[in-house]
Each structure stands twice: as C-alpha cells, then as structure tokens.
Amino acid sequence: MNKPIRKAILPVAGLGTRFLPATKAVPKEMLTIVDRPIVQYVVDEARAAGIEHIVFVTGRNKQVIEDHFDRAYELEDTLQSRSKKEALELLEKIRPTPGATSFTRQQDPLGLGHAIWCARDIIGREPFAILLPDVIIKSHTSCLKQMVDLYDRIGGNIIAVEEVPDDQTQNYGIVALGDKIDDRASQIANMVEKPARGTAPSNLQITGRYILQPEIFDLLSEQGQGAGGEIQLTDSMLKLLETQPFASLKYEGKSYDCGSKAGFLSANIAYALDDSKLASELIPLLNDMLKHPLAAE
Ligand code: G1P
C-alpha cells in the first residue's frame, strides 16, 4: 500500500514581471480567469484530487493570496444582512477547512527547487504533490487526480507531461521516456531543464504537476545552481531518478500557461466558452472582432 498523497505545495513567490504593470501591486496568481483568480483553479484541482493540506510558498507582496483563502468577515456579514444566499454559498465553498493551509516565505528568489525546499518542514517525511500555479489544466478529471490514481497503482514519483512544438523545448523541463506502463504512462529515462535549442531529448515538457517522495528534499538541500543560474527542481529529480522509480503521465486535458499573455488570454476565452450563457454573448463579439479586427480604433 502506497502512502497517501495528503499535502501539496503551491510555489507562489514569483514576481510576475511579464505582466507588469498589472502585477505591481496584485500577485500574478490573483489575475482573473473569467471570475476566479488563477490560484483558485489550481487549488480546486488539488482538492478534487483529495489533497487535504496546501502549503503556499509565498514572497513579499503576496498577502492577498492568504486573504483570498480566509474568511472575509465584513463582506460575509454584509451579504448575510442583504440575504445574498448564493454569493455566501460561493464564498463558503472555496474556503479551505480551518488549519488546512500553511504559508511560508521564500526569502530569496533562488529558483523553483529552492522554493520547494522551503516547504520541507511543513511537508515532513511523506510523499506530496506540487502544482505550479502558472499552469492551469482544463480537464474532465482533475489532472492531479489522474496522477494520484496512477500513483495508487504504481507508487514512486510521477510527473505530468505534454507535447510541445520542437521549437519551444528550450523554455521547459523536458523528459525522455523509457518503458511503457500503459497507454498514457511510461517510465522516465532522462530529464533536462531548459535544454539548449536543438539538444532536447524529446518534445515532452514537464507540465507543472508532480508527485514526489520526500527524499527530494535531501537532494534539494545540496543542489547547486542549474539553468538560468537557479536551483532547479528538475536537477534534483534527475538525481532521485537514479535510486527511485519515476513515471510520466500524458494526462487527459489541456494546459494553459498563464505565465504568458497568450496563454492567459486563451484560458479566459476557453473557460468563458464553457459557460453557456456567457458563451452566447461572447461568440458573436469574438466573430465580429475577427471579421473587423480594427473596429475598436
Ligand atoms: C518550471 C519548471 C519546468 C516546467 C515549467 C512548466 O519552469 O522548472 O521544468 O516545464 O515550470 O511551466 P518555469 O516556467 O518556472 O521557468
């Protein structure tokens, strides 16, 4: 029996420079996809996978994320006095159980590997999940749930992967596959963070969802700088691969890289089109814009 995956880390310390000036005072994780902040989609995915406790690794100017997952007393009191039942229920639904979140700070921006290492004491010696909140994954079954289902069968370490165009491999962690486990899952033979153009071992990117064993923390504590001068999670995972099983899962679903403007905007459109009422208003507007792209001038 594999130890259950109870806790997940969300590293939310990044500066969000690609979205300035929007992210000057508002964390990039709080930018909105239709009517929910990006981070809410990722927390919902984790909860749908049975995660009981979420550890946010934050940085300066990220307090509003903590507020978002807290009770908003004044707002709720006002809604109550105005009998706004639906709005109250919505707030109730997204609020985590008391004590089911932790917040710790990454004091220096030393890289993703360092951010994960900052959560080591809160995670303890048990397997855990990581969800990178730049990426939201639209799927029928939560991507992390698909990974937990695979983990329940095979244990070890698991990474979600997705194909990217060959000319984009230098922007991601890339894995090379070994033996097949089933239609969607394979053993991992190699991985490399941000390979130089033309050197990637495949076009399968690490999509930002991981299930890892706690030994990763021991490796991270000794990990030197890697790609971009940062402490890279991928480099420590490559070391862990020498002693532990590592599998990849080509999950069912589609990812949106909300760290890029095109990804963020297309996520907004995709989720808006999911809502039939909103879609019926939006589709004619989009059609019109495509026909007359300069109409706004
Ligand atoms: C991180 C990971 C990389 C992964 C990517 C997914 O990179 O280091 O392996 O492919 O997220 O979005 P970052 O985007 O933080 O540079």
| Domains, the chain | 7-259 (3.90.550.10)
List pLDDT tens digits, range 173-213: 999 999 999 999 999 999 999 999 989 999 999 999 999 99
CA of 176 to the centre of ligand 1 (A): 16
pLDDT at 296 over 80: no
For ligand 1, whether the C-beta of 169 sits within 6 Å is: no
Q: Whose CA is nearest to atom 14 of ligand 1?
A: 172
Rounded Cα distance, 145 and 151, in Å:
10
Rounded Cα distance, 69 and 27, in Å:
14
Q: Please name the residues in contact with 12: beta carbons below 8 A apart, sequence gap of 6 or more.
A: 27, 29, 39, 56, 57, 58, 59, 62, 65, 133
Work out the number of other CB atoms within 10 angstroms of the CB of residue 265: 13
Q: Answer whether the bond into residue 214 is a cis peptide, omega within 30°.
A: no
For ligand 1, whether the C-beta of 236 sits within 6 Å is: no
For position 295, what pLDDT does the model report? 58
CA of 52 to the centre of ligand 1 (A): 25
**Residue to mutate, 116, 117, 134, 162, ligand 1, most ligand atoms under 8 Å from C-beta:** 134
CA of 71 to the centre of ligand 1 (A): 32
For position 61, what pLDDT does the model report? 87
Catalogue the E-assigned strands of 194-263. Answer: 204-212, 246-250, 254-257
CA of 55 to the centre of ligand 1 (A): 19
N-terminal to C-terminal alpha carbon distance within the chain: 63
CA of 74 to the centre of ligand 1 (A): 38
Tokens (6 digits) for 128: 């855990």
| pLDDT averaged over every residue in the chain | 94
For ligand 1, whether the C-beta of 118 sits within 6 Å is: no
Minimum-distance ligand 1 atom for the alpha carbon of 259: 14
Q: Whose CA is nearest to atom 9 of ligand 1?
A: 173
Please report, rounded to a whole number, the percentage of residues in the chain having pLDDT higher than 90: 88
Report whether 135 contacts 253 (CB < 8 A).
Answer: no
CA of 140 to the centre of ligand 1 (A): 24
Rounded Cα distance, 138 and 154, in Å:
25
Q: Whose CA is nearest to atom 3 of ligand 1?
A: 173
Residues 220, 23, 264, 231, Cα dihedral to 10°: -10
Rounded Cα distance, 195 and 251, in Å:
23
Phi, psi dihedrals of residue 112, rounded to the nearest 5°: -60, -40
pLDDT, mean of residues 160-169: 95
List pLDDT tens digits, range 10-59: 999 988 889 999 999 999 999 999 999 999 999 999 999 999 999 999 99
